[in-house]
Amino acid sequence: MRNFNKRDEISRRRFISNSAKACLGVSLLPCLQNNSLIAAVSESGKQPKARNVIHLYMAGGMSHIDTFDPKPGTEAQGPVETIKTNADGILIGEYLPLMSKHMDKVAIIRSLNSSQGAHAQGAYFMKTGYIKRGTITHPGMGSWLNKLSGRTNSSIPGNIRINGGNNAPGGAGFFEEKFGPLTIGNPSEGLANSKRNKNIPVKQFETRLNLSEWIDTSFHKEYKYKEVRAYSDAYTEALTLMKSEDLNAFDITKEPKEIKAAYGPSKLGQGCLLARRLIEHDVRYVEVNYGGWDTHNDNFNRIEVQCEALDTALSTLLLDLERRGMLDETLVVVSTEFGRSPEISSDLGRNHHPKVFSCLLAGGGVQGGQVYGASDEIGNEVAENSVSVNDFNATIGYALGLPLEEIVYSPSGRPFTVGNKGKPVTAIF
Amino acid sequence: MHYPLFIKLHYLLLIFLIGNMANLSGQSPKPHSPVKPVKKEAKHFEYSTKIDLIIQKDLKKNSAKLNPPLSDTAFLKRIYLDTIGRIPTYEESLSFLDNKSPNKRRSLIDKLLDSEGYVSHQYTFWADLLRITTTGNINTGGDAYYYAKWIKEAIRSNMPYDKIVKSMLLAEGYPWENGATGYYLRDPGMELDNASNTIQAFLGTQLVCAQCHDHPFEKWTQEEYYGMASHTYGVNSRMPIKENQKLNSTRKILQQTTNLKKNISLKGTVSNFTRPLSYGVNRTNKKLPKPTDYATNNKKKKDFVVPHTIFGKNTHTTQDDKDTRVESYSRWLTSKENPLFAKVIANRIWAKFFGIGIIKEVDDIREDTKPSNTELLNYITRLMKDNDFDLKTFQRILLNTKVYQRKSTTNEQDHTKPYLFTGPILRRMTAEQIWDSCLTMVVPNLDNRQGLHFTRAHPSQKTLSIVEGLPPNELAEKFIAINKAESKYYTKRKYIRSELLLLDKEQDIEKIKALRKQEKNAKKEMQVTIYGEQSKQKYYKDKKGEWKGLGNNLVRASESPSPMYPGNFIEVFGQSDRKIIDNNSKKANVNQILMRLNGHMFNQIIYAKTGLGGKMRTIQDLNELLDTLFLGVLVRKPTEAERKKLLPLLKENRGKSQFDIFWALLNTNQFIFIS
C-alpha cells in the first residue's frame, strides 16, 4: 500500500513538473532568448524531449569493432562473430545477444572521433566536451544540465555518479560545487553515511549541528570565500538529503529479486538499476561508470566478460524504462574515451584508437534502429558523417533542450558553452 | 585505471597483503634512518628579510599593506600543517604556547623540519607531482612500492632537488635495486606520455598537446616536442627477460618433459612466477621516428628525430647512443642554467605555503605568462640555485618571512588581477591533512606509526626467492608442483563459487559461511604447497600497547596505500587520483558532509579512549575541559562568548555535552581551513 502511495507521490510530482512545462512552454528556458530555439527543432520536425539522462561510461576505451561496429570478413575483425539484430541490417558483436533484441531502441554513432589518445585526457574530453588544460576545470554534462535547467526534485541532488570517484573528470568544474555529482562508490550499498547514527536522537543531533554552526559564525563572517560558502551549501544539501523521503531511491535492496537479477550481478548492472530508481525520483543526470575496457592484451577473452555485463545491464535498462513509460523522457547514453585499434597486437590485444569509435544513444526522443556515420572497411578511420566529441556532447545537450549557444562565463571571465560549439547530430531524433 | 578494475586490484592487493605477512610474524617494523636536520644558518633569516622587503616595495607601489600579524595559535596550526601535514596534538600546542622565548617560532619551524612528520607530509607533495600509485597493478604503472620508499628516503636524507630528478631520469635496473626506476615504471610503454609529464612536472610547461599535433595556443610544434621526447624514448620499462639464461634452460626442460608450449596452464604458472623479473628499467637503442600523427597517419617510420631542446642550450646529442642521450638530457634539464628548472620548483613551494603561486599556474607556464611579482620570483629562484636545490633550507627561508606569518587574506581574490602578497590566502586543508589531523586526535605517536603496506616485504619477493633460489632442473620441478597445487585450488574454488551463486544471501547464511571457509582452507593448502609451512598468516601486532586496539588502517595517509578507492575518507576529501600531475581537489561535496555527520571517523575520535578523547575523560575542571577540546580540534582557545555559552552546557550535563561539543567542533568549517 505504501508503495502505491509512494508511486502516486512521484507521479504527482512528475505530473506537476510536466504540466508546468506544458503550461509555461519552454518560455522559461533561456534558449528562447536566442536563435538556438530554431536549432532545437530537428530535421524530422520533432522536438527533442529528453528530460533526464542515464550515461553509461565505459572507462578504458571500448573496442568498437568487437561491439557495435563489427567488420566481418576482414582481418581486423578477429575471432568475434557478428549477429543480426531486430533493427534491419544492423549487425553487432556476438557477445551482445540480448542487445540484439533491443537495437530498435538504439541509435549507434559509428563515426565518433577524438583528439585525445590517453585515458585521463580522453575521459575528460568525453565528459566535458573540452580538452583538459592546466588552467581551468570544465564542468561535466550533468553539471551543465543542473546549472542551466535546474533540478526537479529539491530534496536529492540532481547529478549523481555511480561507481566513480569524487575527483574523476566531469564534476562541477568552474560551476559552484552544488552542481557537481554526488558519488556512490558501490551501488549495492547505496548512499554511504546517509543515515543518522542510531545512538544519537534527532534532538541531540540538532543541538550538535546548531552548536557547530554557532561556533563558525565569526569564521564565516570573516572569510567570505566561495570555498567556505560551498561547505555551508553542502551542509544544507546533506541535511535536506538525510531528511528526504526519497532517500530510499538510493536503496536497490527495495527492488524485487527478479529485477535485481535481470540487471545482472555486475557493478554496471546494479548501477543501472540504481540509476533507474534515481531517475524515477526525478534526478536529472546519473552517470554509471564501468571499467575494464582497456584491453591491451587478451582482448577477445576480456571483451566477452565485459560485454556480458554491458549486454545484460543495458538491455534490461532499456526494457525497464520502456515498460515504465520513462524511455521517452530519459536519454540513455553509452560512451567511452576512444575505440581500439583494428590491428591486433602480439598479446592478442588492441591498442588505443581515438581516430574512430562508436557510442550509443537511446530514448529521450532518439529514433531507434539506426546507425549514424560510418567507419572505413576495417574500422580505422571515419568514412562518413564524422562526429566529434564536441558534436556528441552538443547532441546530448540538444536532446535535453539546453541552449547550446548560450555563453556561460567562468569566474575567471572565460567564455564556455554546452558541448563547446559542437554541432548536434539532429538527424537521429 | 578504471574504478571497478581498480577496486578489484586493490582488493587483490589486500589479499596479497594478508597472504604475505609471513616474514613479519610479529616482529616490529624496522626503524628507518634518522631525518637529516636542516642547516641552521643565520643568513637564512637575512634572505627571509629580503623577501619581505621585495614584497613591501610592491605593496607600497600598489598602496596596499600586509595583513595583520598572526596569533600564536593560528601560527601553530598553520606551521604544523605546512611542515608536517597535520594539526598539533593538545600537548604539542601547550608546549609551544607556554614557551616564553622570543625565538620560539623559529625554533618550532626547525624542530618540525627535522621531524619524521616532515617526511610524511613531503611525501604527499611528491606523490601528487610524480603520480605515485602504490595501489593497482605494476603492469599499468601502479604498485610503486619501492619507488615510494625511495622517495621517502630521499626526503629523509634531504637529497637536493636536482639530484632527485636526475636520479630518476638516470635510473636503471630492477625496482628493488633502485627505487628511482619507479619514475619510468609509472608509464610503462608510454614513453611519449612520460616525456610530457617530465616537462610538465619539472619545467612547468605543458607540451601534451604537441604530442599529437602542433600546440594550439603555444608556439611549440609537434616536431619540437618529439625532439624533446627523443632523449628518453629508448628508456624501456620492461627488462629483456627473454635473455635470462636460467629461465630459458628451465623452459627448455619443461618443454621436453611437459610440452610447455601447449600447456597453457603451466605456461601461466611460469609466467606468473617469473613476471617480477620483467619489470625494470632498461635503456635500449630504440629511436623515435618523426611524428606520424593522427592527422597524417604517416606510417613510414624511416626518418628519425634529432634530439633537441625547446629552450636553453641544446643537448647536442644523437639518438644513436642509448646512454649519452639520456645523460645529456638529465644534465640539461636539472642544470642551474635551465631557465625553468629552479623557477618551477621555487614557485611550486611558494604556492604550497601561500595558497597561490607567484605564477598562478604552477605547471602551465607560457611565453606570455606574467608573474605577479617578477622581482620576487627571480629572487626566490636565485635562492633555490644559491642553496643548491636544498629544499629544506628553502622552506626554512620562506616560513621565516613576515609575509608568511600574517593572517590569511579575508576577502576573496580577484582572478583578473595579480595577487599582491599581503599574506597567504585562505586554504582548505588537503585530503591528506584532514585525515592526518583526525588521526592526530586518536593515535598516539602518529608520525612514527608505519603502515603495513610498507613494512611488509613486497609480494614479489616470495616468488623471486623461489625463482632465484633453485637451479633450472629443480625450478622446473617446482613449477610443475606449483601448477598442480594451483589447479587443484582453482577447481575447488570454481565449484564453491558456482555453489554460492545458487544460495540466498539471507536464508543460507550458514551454508555460505561453510563454503567460504572451505575456500579459505583450500587456498591455505595451496600456499603451504608453494611456499612451505611458514606461509601461515601472521599479522604484526603491537604488543607494547602504544597502539593497542587501533586498527592497522589508522596510519598517516603517506603510510597508506594510495590512491584510495572511491568512498574512502581520503578519496572523498579530494585525494589526487594520481593519473594527472597534482590532481588533488579541495572542493566541497555532499559525500564529505555525510561522512562528517554520520561517518565512522568522527565517532571514533570523540568516543576514543586514546588521544584527545582519552585526555577529555581525565579532566575535572570544566574550563580546562573546554580549553582542551578547542585547542585539540581547532588549535585555538575558546572566545569569551564561546565560554559563556558552552560552560553552562557542561555544568548541566557534562556526560552528554562534552561529546556534543567535541562533535560540533569537528563539524565546523574552520577546522578544515587554514586561516
Separation of alpha carbons A299 and A296, rounded Å: 7
Taking the Cβ of residue B190 and every Cβ of chain A, the question of whether any pair is shorter than 8 Å is answered with yes
pLDDT tier, B566 (very low <50, low <70, confident <90, very high otherwise): confident
pLDDT recorded at residue B412: 84
> Which of B294, B571, B661 is facing A166, going by the closest CB pair?
B571
Asked whether the beta carbons of B66 and B402 are under 8 A apart, the reply is: yes
Q: Are strands A159-162 and A285-290 parallel, antiparallel or unpaired?
A: parallel
Which residue of chain A has the CA closest to B601? A193
For chain B positions 553-592, those within 8 Å of chain A (CB to CB) are: 565-567, 571-572, 574-577, 579-580, 583-592
**Angle in degrees, CA A77, A78, A79, rounded to 5:** 120
Q: How far is CA B262 from CA A308, B255, B256, B447, in A?
A: 29, 9, 11, 53
Q: Do A230 and B588 touch (CB under 8 A)?
A: yes
Residue B200, min C-alpha distance to chain A (Å): 10
> Which of A192, A196, A212 is facing B667, going by the closest CB pair?
A212
Residues of chain B positioned with their CB less than 8 A from the CB of A228 = 426, 669, 673
- The model's pLDDT over B281-313, given as tens digits with 9 standing for 90+, comes to 999 999 998 876 444 444 555 688 899 998 888
Query: Mapping DSSP to helix (H, G, I), strand (E, B) and coil, where does residue B475 land?
Result: helix
Separation of alpha carbons A291 and A310, rounded Å: 11
pLDDT tier, B29 (very low <50, low <70, confident <90, very high otherwise): low
Residue A182, min C-alpha distance to chain B (Å): 6
Q: Do A212 and B575 touch (CB under 8 A)?
A: no
pLDDT recorded at residue B137: 83
Taking the model in full, what pTM does it have?
0.87
Long-range contacts of B378-383 (CB under 8 A, 24+ apart): B379/B50, B379/B51, B379/B54, B380/B51, B380/B346, B380/B347, B380/B350, B381/B342, B381/B343, B381/B346, B381/B347, B383/B47, B383/B346
What 8-state DSSP symbol labels residue A77? G
**DSSP structure string for B412-468:** PP-TTSPPP-SSPBPEEPPHHHHHHHHHHTTSTTGGGPPPHHHHSPPTHHHHHHHHH
| Ramachandran quadrant class, B102 (left: phi over 0; alpha: psi -120 to 50; beta: rest) | alpha
Residues of chain A positioned with their CB less than 8 A from the CB of B570 = none
- The model's pLDDT over A234-285, given as tens digits with 9 standing for 90+, comes to 999 999 999 999 999 999 999 998 999 999 999 999 999 999 999 999 999 9
Q: Is the dihedral of CA A292, A298, A303, A305 positive or negative?
A: negative
C-alpha cell at A326: 520513462
Separation of alpha carbons B228 and B200, rounded Å: 12
Q: What average pLDDT score do residues B635-650 get?
A: 97
Query: Per-residue pLDDT for B142 more than 60?
Result: yes
The C-alpha cell 568516543 sits at B607
Taking the Cβ of residue B208 and every Cβ of chain A, the question of whether any pair is shorter than 8 Å is answered with yes
**Least confident segment among A109-123, B207-221, B402-416, B605-619:** B207-221
On the question of a cis peptide bond just before residue A97, with omega within 30 degrees of 0, the verdict is: no
Give Cβ neighbours of residue A315 (< 8 Å, ≥ 6 apart): A98, A99, A101, A102
C-alpha cell at B602: 568522527
Give Cβ neighbours of residue B217 (< 8 Å, ≥ 6 apart): B209, B366
Listed residue (B607, B659, B612, B610) closest to B631, CA to CA:
B612
Q: At what angle do helices B191-203 and B222-229 cross, to 10 degrees?
A: 90
Name the H helices within A1-71. Answer: 2-24, 36-39
Query: Mapping DSSP to helix (H, G, I), strand (E, B) and coil, where does residue B618 land?
Result: helix
Q: What average pLDDT score do residues B508-524 get?
A: 91
Separation of alpha carbons B345 and B497, rounded Å: 53
pLDDT recorded at residue A6: 41
Percent of chain A that is helix, strand, coil (3-state, to 5):
40, 15, 45
Q: Which residues of B525-553 are buried (b: 16+ CB within 10 A; e: fewer)?
A: ebbebbbeeebeeeebeeeeeebeebebe
Q: Do A163 and B411 touch (CB under 8 A)?
A: no
**Mean residue pLDDT across chain B:** 89
Give Cβ neighbours of residue B634 (< 8 Å, ≥ 6 apart): B77, B665, B668, B670, B671
pLDDT recorded at residue B291: 74
> Which of A59, A212, A234 is facing B664, going by the closest CB pair?
A212
Residues of chain B positioned with their CB less than 8 A from the CB of A270 = none
* Disruptive mutation site among A225, A290, A350 for chain B (greatest number of B CBs within 10 Å): A225
pLDDT recorded at residue B541: 60
Beta bridge partner(s), residue A91: A84
pLDDT recorded at residue A305: 92
Q: Which residues of B97-124 are buried (b: 16+ CB within 10 A; e: fewer)?
A: beeeeeebbbebbbbbbbbbbbbbbbbb
Residue A2, min C-alpha distance to chain B (Å): 24
Query: Mapping DSSP to helix (H, G, I), strand (E, B) and coil, where does residue A384 land?
Result: strand
Residues of chain A positioned with their CB less than 8 A from the CB of B572 = 166, 183
Asked whether the beta carbons of B419 and B347 are under 8 A apart, the reply is: no
> Which of B4, B361, B668 is facing A215, going by the closest CB pair?
B668
Separation of alpha carbons B270 and B256, rounded Å: 15
**Least confident segment among A87-101, B101-115, B504-518, B659-673:** B504-518
**What tens-digit pLDDT sequence spans chain A (429 residues)?**
334 334 344 444 444 444 334 333 333 333 333 334 334 444 455 567 899 999 999 999 999 999 999 999 999 999 999 999 999 999 999 999 999 999 999 999 999 999 988 888 899 999 999 988 766 889 999 999 999 999 888 899 999 999 988 888 899 999 998 999 999 989 998 999 999 998 899 999 999 999 999 999 999 999 999 999 999 999 999 999 999 999 999 999 999 989 999 999 999 999 999 999 999 999 999 999 999 999 987 899 899 999 999 999 999 999 999 999 999 999 999 999 999 999 998 778 899 999 999 999 999 999 999 999 999 999 999 999 999 999 999 999 999 999 999 999 988 788 999 999 999 999 999
Separation of alpha carbons B433 and B570, rounded Å: 9
pLDDT recorded at residue B271: 85
pLDDT tier, B320 (very low <50, low <70, confident <90, very high otherwise): confident
Asked whether the beta carbons of A67 and A92 are under 8 A apart, the reply is: yes
Taking the Cβ of residue B673 and every Cβ of chain A, the question of whether any pair is shorter than 8 Å is answered with yes
Residue A354, min C-alpha distance to chain B (Å): 9
Give Cβ neighbours of residue B659 (< 8 Å, ≥ 6 apart): B606, B607
Query: Mapping DSSP to helix (H, G, I), strand (E, B) and coil, where does residue A184 land?
Result: strand
Taking the Cβ of residue B660 and every Cβ of chain A, the question of whether any pair is shorter than 8 Å is answered with yes
Q: Do B665 and A227 touch (CB under 8 A)?
A: no
Q: Do B416 and A222 touch (CB under 8 A)?
A: no
What 8-state DSSP symbol labels residue A422? P
Q: Do B590 and A117 touch (CB under 8 A)?
A: no
Query: Per-residue pLDDT for B128 more than 50?
Result: yes
Which residue of chain A has the CA closest to B359? A135
For chain B positions 489-548, those within 8 Å of chain A (CB to CB) are: none
pLDDT recorded at residue B378: 97
Name the H helices within A324-408. Answer: 389-399
Secondary element (H or E) of residue A267? helix A267-280
pLDDT recorded at residue B397: 98
pLDDT recorded at residue A210: 97
Separation of alpha carbons B73 and B94, rounded Å: 10
pLDDT recorded at residue A134: 66
Residues of chain B positioned with their CB less than 8 A from the CB of A212 = 663-665, 667-668
Half-sphere exposure of A189 (CA within 13 A, CB side): 10
pLDDT recorded at residue B216: 54
pLDDT recorded at residue B417: 86
Q: Do B598 and A196 touch (CB under 8 A)?
A: yes
Separation of alpha carbons B140 and A293, rounded Å: 13
pLDDT tier, B209 (very low <50, low <70, confident <90, very high otherwise): low
C-alpha cell at B295: 592527422
What 8-state DSSP symbol labels residue B139? G
Residues of chain A positioned with their CB less than 8 A from the CB of B577 = 165, 167-168
Q: Do B669 and A168 touch (CB under 8 A)?
A: no
Separation of alpha carbons A151 and A167, rounded Å: 22
Q: At what angle do helices B191-203 and B341-354 cross, to 10 degrees?
A: 70
CB atoms within 10 A of CB B447: 23
Q: Do A115 and B212 touch (CB under 8 A)?
A: yes
Residue B37, min C-alpha distance to chain A (Å): 35
pLDDT recorded at residue B362: 87
What 8-state DSSP symbol labels residue A309? H
**Angle in degrees, CA B561, B567, B573, rounded to 5:** 80
